[in-house]
Amino acid sequence: MGRIPATLIEETARELMARAAIDIPPDYREGIVRARERETGRLSRFVLTEMLANWEIATADRRPMCADTGLPRYYVKLGNEAAVEGGLVALERALRRATAEATAAIPLRPNRVHPLTRADPNTNVGVHAPEIAYSVEPGADWIDVTTVHKGGLFGTDWRMLFPGDGVAGIKRFFVDTLVEGGKRGLACQPAIVGVGVGGAKDTCMRLGKEAACLRVVGSKNPDPAAAALEEELTALGNGIGIGAMGFAGTAMVVATHVELAHTHTGGMPVAIHQFCLSSRRATGRIHPDGRVEHRADPVWFTDYYRRSGIE
């Protein structure tokens, strides 16, 4: 079976970086079109109208939709039968090179700095940067590369809840987080809100982030309890009375995505993440014969990824 050349991965990753920074994903755009139609607040509606126009300018001019191009990172899904020339070390080198090249070429804002000295290499590459997360998929010989560009200062929180807090506790924490980040529009809402429930602390943080960034608007969690919670949380968030930029309004949440992990019997850790008005992601599937298919849906949460059985 053919090995995927690392040069193809690098070339694809560069292209993904540009697409993510410039072109708003269609599922999110449609969500904002619907939110704007429902929005009753005059100022909030004005904001959404301007955002829709901004995305058209970005695509027409091939310039980034937002100057805070976030912390570019990668999610790689490896087909169980896929192989890369030079192995996964070559893949990681390709992704780091693509990040530095795309930062200069698009250009992206070089956001990544040393956390203490604040020195900026101007490449978006550094210690543990960009993050590369992996998952595997059985019966596949391709590699999916997804890049996500997400800002990260506001709108995310984690909390240890307990079984006695129940679903009402999740709802309360959800509203707390949305109100806190929603005033003045610090969280750049209306957002795709990812909610990670369960696992260990870091598991719920990871799942909440992936739920926000790697599921498309309109998708549902296959677990009926999670799917019901998604709908309830969306309605709750849009009923707070906060719209875009923290003006009075109805558009706070474009979609809520809940992801679950089996957790400690005594606890219920919950993480909330808001993917902003520049919800930037792009995915490409690289086949061993050299074909690259670009698509809007990362398809990160597969049945295998969410598996619960022993085998």
Partner 1 sequence: MAIERLDDVRMDTVHLTTPVPARDLRRLKLGDVVYISGVLYTAREGVYRRVVDKGLPLPPGLADLSNVNFHCSPAASVRPDGSYAVEAVTATASFRFGRSMAAWFERSGAKVIVGKAGLTERAYREWFVPHGAVYLTTVGYGLGATYGRSIRRVLGVHWLAELGIAQALWVLEVDRIGPFLVEGDADGRSLFALANREINARLAEVYKSLPPPALGRFGEVIVRTDEVV
What minimum distance in Å lies between the beta carbon of 277 and partner 1? 5
Name beta bridge partners: 144: 77, 285
> How does strand 132-137 pair with strand 71-79?
parallel
Structure tokens at 204: 């719920």
Let me know the angle formed at the C-alpha of 216 by 211 and 217, rounded to the nearest 5 degrees: 105
Cβ proximity to partner 1: between 8 and 187 the closer is: 187
Closest CA to 14 of 116, 115, 124: 124
What minimum distance in Å lies between the beta carbon of 194 and partner 1? 19
Q: Give the containing element (helix H, strand E) for 260.
A: strand 253-261
What minimum distance in Å lies between the beta carbon of 273 and partner 1? 17
What minimum distance in Å lies between the beta carbon of 3 and partner 1? 33
Structure tokens at 258: 């809940």
Cβ proximity to partner 1: between 57 and 225 the closer is: 57
Q: Residue 262, exposed/middle/buried by CB under 10 A (0-12, 13-18, 19+)? A: exposed
Rounded distance, CA 30 to CA 46, Å?
17
Cβ proximity to partner 1: between 94 and 270 the closer is: 270
Cβ proximity to partner 1: between 40 and 80 the closer is: 40
Handedness of CA 69, 190, 16, 63 (dihedral sign): negative
Cβ proximity to partner 1: between 214 and 242 the closer is: 242
SS3 86: coil
What minimum distance in Å lies between the beta carbon of 54 and partner 1? 5
Cβ proximity to partner 1: between 3 and 62 the closer is: 62
Q: Which residues bind partner 1 (CB under 8 A)?
A: 21, 41-43, 46-47, 50-51, 53-55, 57-58, 61, 63-69, 103-111, 113, 118-120, 122, 153-154, 159-162, 164-165, 168-169, 171-173, 175, 179-180, 182-186, 188, 239-242, 244-248, 276-278
Rounded distance, CA 196 to CA 258, Å?
6
Phi, psi of 200 (to 5 degrees): -90, 175
- DSSP-assigned letter for residue 216: -
Closest CA to 64 of 109, 101, 96, 97: 109
What minimum distance in Å lies between the beta carbon of 115 and partner 1? 14
What minimum distance in Å lies between the beta carbon of 140 and partner 1? 35
Cβ proximity to partner 1: between 103 and 203 the closer is: 103
Rounded distance, CA 284 to CA 95, Å?
13
